[in-house]
Structure 1
């Protein structure tokens, strides 16, 4: 028996060690856990960045960027055009959000976003706790969950005890939001807990207890109510009256103590998309194939250039991954976990001349397809992929275009 006890102790110790090690290594959030269809066909994020990578407690961090809800939104996923909310993902209460805006509209309430339209967002955060955090912009979609944007590492230093989170009310009262209302909430919680203990304790004094009474009630059938005595009914009525009096008394006290209140912002606001900028490029995806052994994405396109100068493809972005054509665009990764393949985009067909319609082939080849768990897109029932192509002219102007269509996996060659 002692031997078995020691074995269980060793197993428990190993479990604790493994859990601890896994917790220390879980730096990022889990965007890789999302299905490729969600990452590729829901929200296209780009130009996401933060105002600083290092700051102290109480300092301000601004997160900016743009996103376009995909025209190829999966039919089985609740639509972003119904109800959505811009949020930020970070481990624990590490920051306090002071403000968030989408196309200049305050984001304190839910809204909706139209597919295929562009939105610029900005979130203002205040550092609360020291640490190194992987921060993500997120759009929470009702009945679908979070659509996670690219992650950015942010380091916060300083003394957590020095954090300040105070506001001034309409009546000039200074409130510390870190402690305001805590004693009130704790008092009410303790009161309801005591009342529950009284009710539970009364029934514990009854003999027989739960299981014998259950058997007796099952045996009595329709006459089980005879087990409830007059004293039981009086105690139940007393507990009910105390509960109702506490609720009514608390309501009238709160109304008298705080006559002017603001209701929770549960409404929904409209966020108009940005005006569409004229684009000289029109793209149709003719064919898409992913070659599994070489981790190579091959896309055939028909491109029409109605502009006045030649156009080149500088970037292909899909599922949070960025593949760069170094001959057109120079991109420096923001940190070691920035999902940028600097020289992984190859274009066959050359520049698209003004007034020209031609077929070109784009190759996005990099191990990120596998390391970021995007290769499971071959298991998608509809096998549809989507992404953003960024065209550039000689003046450096950028023209983003979404492409989407069926994908054929290749298992050899």
Structure 2
């Protein structure tokens, strides 16, 4: 017990003295299967990385729910909600659109379909924040997209957040009816405190002895209740029901025109897109642990009238770039882009031909982003997105997935 207490004290002191540890990215804690086989995010960007309090920030991008969705994870085709991941109430969300459909309610996303999103935020607190798009999936939790650092300057005291009611009244959303919130919270806390005080400080055994006594009596536990206990319980029940009903009648009289919270789902149609002029089949996939190297065999059929080359492989928000096709560099030290980490054997694929290719995605990001734990998964299946480019720069994409074999030597 003493040793555990000492460890807890050391951890508490370190958490206070080393605040930089709080900047660790939470997405690394997610299992590789969740990051690789749930949602394929791409083209995520922000309108600016430097803004002031009250400025507008627009987060855009696209995503495709994976066809290799893990069986043990609740499907995204149930109830899902597009959201934004930030540390606390640092922004106010003004609007969100998915393929042009308002994202104010839960919806359903279909595997293999394309969705383009746009989220409009308003800066609320100064600071430096790692912003992620994310999708909250019912019974599964958040599926996190790639993060981008933005910095907000200015003063929080200058923040304004107003809205117009159905009757045309402009209200301050930061302080609207704050007094009512405090009063009702204080009232319920007072009632709860009075109830607890009675049971803790009346002349009877406290919580643990009373619990033991109830356990001993079993079905006869009601025998320890006194007439005073029953009368007081009835009194508190009457008070609770009276306050609830009185509060309802008061609010209904004070604000007769209201809109209830919306709980229905909206239909979000997938983006309309032309068929991809290629077919990709993944053969063998091996991850060589000592070299941090992924080797994937592919069979690609090019049905277009131009040669195609693989420019990028994206998996679990990690991007591996073929520098012979694309010139993409990380925007900062936290941008998960490996600019010269994708090597392709057998590319380009001539128009109208089918070829066998081998790609190598080699970079330390596999380890630093904790993706190597996939070798310990009982369901060793990987997935990712391949991006192809023709000789005119037009882009096509295809998802690949299948079993992965770890190589230890």
The alignment's C-alpha RMSD in Å is 2.3
Query: 1:28·1:134 contact (CA, 8 Å) conserved in 2?
Result: no
Q: Could you say which residue in structure 1 is the equivalent of 2:308?
A: 311
- Normalised TM-score (structure 2): 0.94
The correspondence for 1:393, drawn from 390, 393, 396, is: 390
Q: Does the alignment pair 1:207 with 2:208?
A: no
Aligned length in residues:
407
- Please, which of 129, 149, 152 is the counterpart of residue 153 of structure 1? 149
**CA drift at 1:198:** 2.8
Q: Which residue of 1 aligns with 2:47?
A: 51
8 Å CA contact 1:97–1:126 kept in 2: the answer is yes
Matched, 1:278 2:284: no
Choose 392-401 or 211-220, whichever is displaced more. Answer: 211-220
1:25 aligns with 2:21: yes
Q: Distance in 2 between matches of 1:120 and 1:218?
A: 58
**What is aligned with 1:384?**
381
Alignment partners' CA distance in 2, 1:141 and 1:189 = 31
What does 1:231-242 align with in structure 2 at a 5 Å threshold? 231-242=228-239
Gaps of 5+ in 2: none
Q: Which residue does 1:344 correspond to in 2?
A: 341
**1:111 paired residue number:** 107
Partner of 1:121: 117
* Alignment partner, residue 86 of structure 2: 90
Structure 2 CA distance for aligned equivalents of residues 50 and 143 of structure 1: 29
Q: Give 3-state SS (helix, strand or coil) of 1:48's partner.
A: strand
Aligned partner of 2:60 in structure 1 is 64
Please tell me whether the aligned partners of residues 92 and 123 of structure 2 are also in contact (alpha carbons under 8 angstroms). Answer: yes
Question: Computing the radius of gyration over CA atoms, which structure comes out larger, 1 or 2?
Answer: 1
- Displacement after TM superposition at 1:350 (Å): 2.6
Question: In structure 2, how many angstroms separate the alpha carbons of the residues matched to 1:358 and 1:204?
Answer: 78
Taking a change above 3 Å as real, the CA distance of residues 306 and 182 of structure 1, as seen in their structure-2 partners, is: same
1:289 is aligned, of 283, 286, 291, to 286
Kindly indicate whether residue 36 of structure 2 is the aligned counterpart of residue 40 of structure 1.
yes
Q: CA offset at residue 13 of structure 1?
A: 6.4
- Deviation of 1:376 after TM superposition, in Å, equals 1.1
Q: Which TM-score applies when normalising by structure 1? A: 0.93
CA contact 2:302–2:350 (8 Å) conserved in 1 = yes
Instruction: Give the C-alpha shift of residue 190 in structure 1.
Output: 1.2
- Partner Cα distance (2:331, 2:23) in 1: 17
Unaligned runs of 5+ in 1: none
Q: Encode CA deviations 1:289-310: one digit per residue, 9 max, x unaligned.
A: 1111111111111111111111
User: 8 Å contact 1:40–1:387 — kept in the other structure?
Assistant: yes
Distance 1:390 1:12, change over 3 A: closer
Inter-partner Cα distance in structure 1 for 2:122 and 2:111: 31
Give the corresponding residue for 1:408: 405
Q: For the structure 1 residues 280 and 216, does the alpha-carbon distance in structure 2 shift closer, same or farther, using more than 3 Å as the test?
A: closer
Which string of whole-angstrom CA distances, capped at 9 and with x for unpartnered residues, describes residues 52-108 of structure 1? 000000000000000000001111111001111001111111101111111011111
Summarize the Cα distance change of 1:220–1:12 in structure 2 as closer, same or farther, 3 Å threshold. closer
